[in-house]
Structure 1
Amino acid sequence: MGYQSWTKDNLSVNSEHEGIQYNTTRWDALCPYIDVTEDMLQMAPKPFVVYAIPPTSRYGVPIKDRYGLVNALNPEFWADPYRTRKFKELDKQFKTFTVSEELIDGKDITSEFLYEIGGTHFENCWIADEEIEGFIDYVRDLPVLLIQVYAPNGDLVLSDVSIVLHKESQLYGSFCQWDRAYKNRSPGIYACLVATRWAQKNNLKFYNLGPVEEYGYKSLFVTDYEPIYAMVLSDPEHPIITEPSSPINIDFDKSQINQIYRGPS
């Protein structure tokens, strides 16, 4: 897991669904495996939602979404005929493009750098400034992989950022910004392929694609699934709980509302 520092003032980020306000953490948008403490739960404004609690934690419940993992070290993954054909097609699309892979010390990551390579993505996905700061906080003791692909004319086609989690033998895909002018070449999928190859070369077992239930294109890569554990603390009558279309009702069962612990406490 990454580093986590917080105060009462910067712990939570205001989120919104159809005008309904609720709170998530500063690490929610871009980071995996958020550690939870009793102090955090007591201090956080409610409604409060924490996604991606570590599988080994005593907190949180398995929600309806899950992480898609690519076993980059499994020879069967690379030998699969369908994948082999698709990967060859992707390589052909980017044959004349230049790929750079840079490992960056997390403590050197700045908000200016992140906005330079991901600002359009952050705006399109409503990722708040506080969540950018949360990412910087999280990776301060971790390596960060930056993959960039350039077209023959010099265009920056994509910037893909992943967090290296050696303890988990995992490369976690945090975000990818790509130029829509190159949409027909499937740059986002190509970024997944380059990242998976990097994980293989660096002896990391898994490339974590993030949540996959709403992203069908990721099925090309997925070999394993991991439950996503989360919790929501709220008045049961709050609109974020009662509104059928809210993310709470998409992700959680009614019986999981205000369930703090995974098992008996």
Structure 2
Amino acid sequence: MAPLSHPSDASATLGKLARRALVTAGPALAQPHLQHLTRRGLSVNHTQGVTLGVIGAYVVIIALLWNIPYVKYVLWPFKMLVIAFHEFGHAITACCTGGRVKSISLDPNEGGVTHMLGGIQAITLPAGYLGSSLIGALLTFCGFNIVASKIASIVLGVCFLLTLWWARKDWLTIVTIILAIGLLVAGWFIKHGEALRFIVLFIGVMSSLYSVWDICDDLILRKVNESDASVFAKRYGGSSQCWGVLWSLVSIFFMIGGILAGLAAFKQSFKQQQDDAKDVLPTIRMLLRV
């Protein structure tokens, strides 16, 4: 059986990427004016323009499907997925602040709950919305590039496994996470991961805007009393609507930051991205070598 990959191949590919970045940035670095460099760094090429158009389409489609009766159930699996991100944000911050997670469950009515002991609630309460927004921004950033999307999918897999461990008694959570992992794996095998890029991008946009739409539904439109924002307001002052709007603004800021970072970092065309993906974390070619 031939080896799956060779360290020198990965090193050579990374070196090629670095040289390409220098060639691309070289003319800009030679300019004496920083303003020109800034404009060049945030310029949009054809591939990035397509990605921005896809992001805009995702926002419109998600917004429409979120509010249309019956049709909105098309988004249900993805809502369950971003709710899993939300609960993961509560869980991981609880562990990082000295708490312990007892269980995670997702509710069929598009809700979730994390049972935990201890932790610093001033951090764990907003970590659900802000955590899912940060994950969404990172996924949106990675969605500008195939190789970055592959790496993001691996990190997502680890997060899913942790969530699966905490939710091992809740069948809905288990099924949702297994389907999400299957979707990511399937994306690896289409054009060396090009489909994976748009899957990661969709999940990123959905996760970034989830807190905005969910807070509007719960606190502004339906005015549901029990939410992370309302519990936070009872414990630390202020109104739930105020905290909800603040967390929504932070979520939008995260998403914009992810988009700008993606524009600045990933300048490759679709063809260049596919060529890079063939050598970095290969999929089909790796299987053919076995």
**TM value normalised by structure 2:** 0.27
User: Which structure has more helix as a fraction of its residues?
Assistant: 2
Structure of greater Rg: 2
Which structure has more relative contact order (CA 8 Å, sep 6+)? It is 1
TM-score (norm 1): 0.29
